[in-house]
């Protein structure tokens, strides 16, 4: 079976906006009388905005103190702060090796997709100067279930017109790797603590086209045997 698509998560795989997310959530949490740190922020990786807010409110013991409208206001405030911070992103904000990898995937005539729950993903890709590198970006606004549900990766595969079994998904969050696995794709995890990924790498510096093709070949050989 030939590899037909590679589907990327955004934050932590293509660029690192985790600290920008943390600063925005930290400010909003403080307004709600809750303190969070960067260790807690790790739990929010790959999780949608509203699900992240619920976790923060639960962390502060205030889950019952905010109604739906108030939660929407807090989530909107967080997004406003985050979007303003995105002005600092540019073409130098790509993680190591990503630009070269996208070029090599395109040269191999393999399709490229994005499966990010960030509603700001199109603007981020534009700021990074790589929007045209992607054949299809799953629309986070149309996704009902957040990761670890496989919905967004299945949507990306459908948009690329490939079967999940013909694609590799790349993630830096445990929930994202679970979503890739549940979708029936081969999974690559970037960073520590992702032992459930089919292939675990320490950083994007190790994420090369040869690495991906070797991984694909080794797994498809196992399947055939």
Q: Per-residue pLDDT for 37 more than 70?
A: yes
Per-residue confidence (pLDDT) for residue 48, from 0 to 100 = 84
At 219, the pLDDT band (50, 70, 90 cuts) reads confident
Neighbours of 111 (CB within 10 A): 22
Q: CA 111 to CA 131: how far, in whole Å?
A: 14
Q: What are phi and psi of 86, to 5 degrees?
A: -65, -15
CA nearest 48: which of 145, 96, 117, 133? 117
Per-residue confidence (pLDDT) for residue 225, from 0 to 100 = 44
Q: Radius of gyration (Cα) for the chain, nearest Å?
A: 18
Query: What is the pLDDT averaged over residues 178-206?
Result: 97
Q: What are phi and psi of 10, to 5 degrees?
A: -105, -70
Q: Per-residue pLDDT for 224 more than 70?
A: no
Predicted TM-score of the model (pTM): 0.83
Q: What is the pLDDT of residues 56-68, one digit of tens each?
A: 999 999 999 999 9
Query: What is the pLDDT averaged over residues 108-127?
Result: 93
Query: What is the pLDDT averaged over residues 187-197?
Result: 96
At 129, the pLDDT band (50, 70, 90 cuts) reads very high
Query: What is the pLDDT averaged over residues 117-140?
Result: 93
HSE-up of residue 224 (Cα within 13 Å, Cβ side): 8
Query: Catalytic amino acids?
Result: 9, 11
Judge residue 7's burial from the number of C-beta atoms within 10 Å of its C-beta, 0-12 exposed, 13-18 middle, 19 or more buried: buried
């Amino acid at each position: 079976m030939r590899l037909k698509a590679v589907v990327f998560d955004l934050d932590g795989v293509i660029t690192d906006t985790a600290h920008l997310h943390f600063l925005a959530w930290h400010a909003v949490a403080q307004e709600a009388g809750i303190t969070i740190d960067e260790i807690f922020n790790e739990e929010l990786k790959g999780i949608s905005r509203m699900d992240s807010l619920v976790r923060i409110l639960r962390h502060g013991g205030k889950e019952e103190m905010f109604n739906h409208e108030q939660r929407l206001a807090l989530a909107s405030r967080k997004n406003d702060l985050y979007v303003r911070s995105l002005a600092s992103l540019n073409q130098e904000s790509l993680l190591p090796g990503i630009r070269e990898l996208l070029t090599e995937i395109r040269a191999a005539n393999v399709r490229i997709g994005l499966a990010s729950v960030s509603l700001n993903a199109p603007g981020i890709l534009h700021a990074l100067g790589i929007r045209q590198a992607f054949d299809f970006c799953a629309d986070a606004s149309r996704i009902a279930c957040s990761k670890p549900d496989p919905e967004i990766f299945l949507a990306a595969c459908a948009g690329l017109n490939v079967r999940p079994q013909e694609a590799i998904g790349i993630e830096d969050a445990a929930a994202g790797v679970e979503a890739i696995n549940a979708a029936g794709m081969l999974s690559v995890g970037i960073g520590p603590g992702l032992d459930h990924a089919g292939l675990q790498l320490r950083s994007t510096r190790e994420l090369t086209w040869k690495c991906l093709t070797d991984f694909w070949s080794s797994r498809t050989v196992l399947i055939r045997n």
